[in-house]
Amino acid sequence: MWTPENRPKYDRSKLRYPSDLTDEEWSIIGPLIPDAKGGGNKRTVDVRAVLNGVMYILST
């Protein structure tokens, strides 16, 4: 139930898209994503941006 006390916790108005991860959500998910494998080129993509894209696709 939406109450004035818990509404700020779920505010997504400052995000680019409502499906984007908040900093709090990213702090939980980020450590679960494995580091890039050794050898070859370094990872050049922003993993958080990729995950935000996946969340956008899933929400539309």
CA distance 39 to 27: 27
According to the model, what pLDDT value does residue 41 have? 86
User: Model confidence over 25-44: pLDDT tens digits?
Assistant: 999 999 999 988 888 888 89
According to the model, what pLDDT value does residue 55 have? 93
- With a CB cutoff of 8 Å and minimum separation 6, the contacts of 60 are 19
User: Model confidence over 2-25: pLDDT tens digits?
Assistant: 788 888 878 888 888 989 999 999
Whole-prediction pTM value?
Answer: 0.77
- With a CB cutoff of 8 Å and minimum separation 6, the contacts of 56 are 17, 19, 20
Cβ distance 29 to 55 under 8 Å?
Answer: no
CA distance 56 to 60: 6
How many other CB atoms are found less than 10 A from the CB of residue 36?
13
